[in-house]
């Protein structure tokens, strides 16, 4: 339980720092902290990083949460295959 609180606290601190940075750099493309995390994880998944490694990096307790990123990877592969066959 204490570990979960620390992780939530760390994520909250990172999110606040990210928002502060965004305010100082208004010309950056609009993206949320969650969107940045999602992009990070999706890119790693598309490069073949093992799901267990992603789970650890993202701090997910449940592997099923992390597995959402593998669906993005599968969709990407299907999209590339469709374009290659045109």
Segment 63-86 shows an average pLDDT of 75
66 and 52 in a single domain? The answer is: yes
- Number of structural domains (the chain) is 2
Based on the domain organization, do 39 and 73 belong to the same domain?
yes
H or E segment and range at residue 26: none
Structure tokens at 51: 């799901």
pTM: 0.62
SS3 39: helix
Question: What would the pLDDT profile of 11-39 be if each residue is shown by its tens digit?
Answer: 788 888 888 998 999 898 888 888 888 88
44/2 Cα distance (integer angstroms): 29
Q: Are residues 14 and 40 in the same domain?
A: no
Task: Say if residue 5's pLDDT is above 50.
Answer: no
Domain that holds residue 42: 31-86
Q: What is the pLDDT of residue 24?
A: 92
pLDDT tens digits, one per residue of 36-74 = 888 888 888 888 888 899 899 888 888 888 888 776 667
Same domain (yes/no): 67, 81: yes
């Amino acid at each position: 339980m204490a570990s979960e609180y620390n992780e939530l606290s760390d994520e909250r601190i990172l999110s606040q720092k990210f928002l502060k940075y965004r305010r100082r750099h208004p010309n950056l493309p609009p993206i949320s902290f969650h969107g940045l995390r999602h992009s990070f994880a999706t890119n790693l998944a598309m490069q073949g990083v093992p799901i267990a490694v992603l789970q650890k990096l993202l701090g997910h307790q449940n592997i099923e949460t992390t597995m959402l990123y593998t669906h993005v990877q599968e969709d990407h592969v299907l999209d590339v295959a469709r374009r290659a066959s045109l």
